[in-house]
Amino acid sequence: MVAAASTSTSAVAGASSQALADLSNNLDNFLTILTTQLQFQDPLSPLDTHEFTNQLVLFSSVEQQVQQNKNLESLVTLQQNSVALGSVEYIGQVIEANGNQTQLENGIAKTTYFLPKNALTTRLNISNESGDVVLTRDLPTSAGIHTFQWDGMNNQGIQQPDGAYTFSITAKDTAEDKIPHDQTVFGSVTGVQFENGNAILLMGQIPVPLSDINGVEKEIGGL
């Protein structure tokens, strides 16, 4: 699924086109008035054209600025189209992304976490879309990168349905203080949408900004 790009670009482009059209109409009206006044001016007291000249220069300057804005909008549109094409290539691929939300796909889900130092305890709680904790596990506490792959079984050994789940990891030191940690998740990209011109990948209904992607995997279970 590829959602349409943000309508803001089209709106801005339309505004610039309207501004250019209004400017053209105003210039036509100005020239008509100037021509009429020049035709009926008193030869013994000719009009001072200094102000008219300034007005023409101003019109020219504004017209150039509006045209430059249109050119910039065209470049932005081209860039967004390029990003859109690049984003579409992710569909169907398994990505590793920063965060703690991912999809249970065919009974498999995976997360990694990095501890900057040894922890006294590291606890994982997996919650479903309703916020109910379906699984609690104690994880390795040593400093470094660790991987946890879930088979979809809850605390009672019952298989959970595929869908979105949150992997909440809490690591504490000997003083019971929480240890900050980095975490990534893995999931298949099912679509792309755009928000304010930015491409957002979708893992099911879970949005993943391009800036959060760390890499592409062959499969979720590829440990």
Domain count along the chain: 2
The answer to the question of residue 32 being in a domain is yes
Q: Find tokens 């105003």 and name the residue.
A: 26
Q: Are residues 187 and 116 in the same domain?
A: yes
Q: Are residues 46 and 71 in the same domain?
A: yes
Q: Fill in the amino acid letter for 219.
A: E
Q: For residue 144, give its domain range.
A: 94-217
Q: Are residues 40 and 80 in the same domain?
A: yes
Q: Are residues 45 and 106 in the same domain?
A: no
Q: How far apart are CA 88 and CA 134, in angstroms?
A: 33
For 98-125, write each residue's pLDDT tens digit: 999 999 999 999 999 999 999 999 999 9
How many Cβ atoms from other residues are within 10 Å of residue 64's Cβ? 10
- Residue 123: both structure tokens together: 């606890």
| Angle formed by the axes of helices 50-88 and 7-39, nearest 10° | 160
pLDDT of residue 49: 60
The answer to the question of residue 144 being in a domain is yes
Q: Are residues 166 and 78 in the same domain?
A: no
Q: Are residues 122 and 170 in the same domain?
A: yes
For 55-101, write each residue's pLDDT tens digit: 666 666 766 766 666 666 665 555 555 555 667 888 999 999 999 99
Q: Are residues 27 and 55 in the same domain?
A: yes
Q: Are residues 52 and 129 in the same domain?
A: no
Residue 132: CATH number of its domain: 2.60.40.4070
Looking at 43-47, 62-66, 123-127, 164-168, which range is the least confident one?
Answer: 43-47
